[in-house]
Structure 1
Amino acid sequence: MTATTAPLRPHLGDYSSIVCFKAVIVGVEDTLGADGAAVVFTRAGKVRGRNLATELGVAGSNVPVEQIAELLNAAIGKDGTCLAAVTNSYRDGQDIVIETQDTVCLAGEAMGSDRKCTFTLGAVWGALEAITGEMYLGEHTDSVLRGGTCDKFVFSPL
């Protein structure tokens, strides 16, 4: 017997509000603490990103780093799931840098907040690893909440 998935929501569609998603984040942080929640959301994002790359047919494609932003933005940007706008991807030495805007994780946060963008970082990370076939250590380095021009994710090869 094969497993089947439930159909998409026929009345409300695929998407729910940022307010609800942020409530999940805050609730999990309250339960597990900030560090525990960061592990959970980063891992969940990595699984989503890996699956997304597979769904898009780009897993293992090893496209040039400069093209990754366009691929990801089509999937998770304004014309995709609206998780974040992916605006740039490039190499900085051996590191790969992915720049984003309007991440769901930071929506509604006060300027100066120290919140990290864990789920979006994970989604980009998982997609990057699936596309390149390489393993990385990912970090959210710059934040619009702390004076950055974007939310920057830096991936260092392992």
Structure 2
Amino acid sequence: MPLDIKRDQLGQFSSIDAFRAVVEGMSETLGEKATGVALVAAGRLRGKKLADELGLKGATQNLEDATQQITKVLGAEGSRLCIIDKIEITDDVVKVYTSETLCAVGGNGNTPPRCTFTLGIVWGIMTELLQKKLKGSHTESILHGGAYDVFEFTQI
């Protein structure tokens, strides 16, 4: 049983600088590819748990309601991981448009987009919401001139 340790003075959240230091340390130790795999996997696990907590597993409510719930838990009222601007679902592709992603802060246009942890969380949520096995990728980046960080999912 996990301990329920509270941070009375510091609260629930940490800084972006601390997160970036964790990612950089992992990359230095494990390499970029292994770090990316680990962060996506950690994000997917967290996303699945969040979807379960929100009652989104195979959700029957409309997409707008689900988007509002996800935005609340990931946005300014929640973990502050990112803002979910919109979710579009067509027959074979799910696109999630995000902004102010934790992973993009402090990045530059010289590197490929790597919102691995954020991608993973959104991937885990969408997998549970749609009850489909999905393949995810980061297709557009604010760091490369895009209006959003776009995560795209296809059914496998």
**Fold conserved (TM > 0.5)?**
yes
Distance verdict in 2 for CA 1:57–1:34, change over 3 Å:
same
CA deviation after TM superposition for structure 1 residue 31, in Å: 1.0
Counterpart mapping for 1:68-107 below 5 A: 68-107=66-105
- The 8 Å contact of residues 89 and 95 in structure 2, kept in 1 or not, is answered as yes
TM score, norm. by length of structure 1: 0.92
The one-letter code sitting in structure 2 at the alignment partner of 1:58 is L
Deviations 1:99-148 (A, max 9, x none): 00011011111233324100000000001111121110000000001111
The one-letter code sitting in structure 2 at the alignment partner of 1:47 is L
The one-letter code sitting in structure 2 at the alignment partner of 1:146 is H
* Structure 2 gap segments, 5+ residues each: none
Counterpart mapping for 1:117-156 below 5 A: 117-156=115-154
Instruction: Quote the Cα distance in structure 1 between the aligned partners of 2:117 and 2:5.
Output: 25
- The 8 Å contact of residues 99 and 149 in structure 2, kept in 1 or not, is answered as yes
Could you say which residue in structure 2 is the equivalent of 1:16?
Answer: 14
Instruction: Quote the Cα distance in structure 2 between the aligned partners of 1:136 and 1:95.
Output: 10
The one-letter code sitting in structure 1 at the alignment partner of 2:144 is R
* Structure 1 gap segments, 5+ residues each: none
Aligned residues: 156
CA deviation after TM superposition for structure 1 residue 92, in Å: 4.0
- The 8 Å contact of residues 135 and 154 in structure 2, kept in 1 or not, is answered as yes
The one-letter code sitting in structure 1 at the alignment partner of 2:14 is S
Instruction: Quote the Cα distance in structure 2 between the aligned partners of 1:112 and 1:88.
Output: 27
SS at match of 1:99: strand
Could you say which residue in structure 2 is the equivalent of 1:37?
Answer: 35
Distance verdict in 2 for CA 1:95–1:66, change over 3 Å:
farther
- Percentage of pairs with the same residue: 33
Distance verdict in 2 for CA 1:53–1:27, change over 3 Å:
same
TM score, norm. by length of structure 2: 0.93
The one-letter code sitting in structure 1 at the alignment partner of 2:41 is R
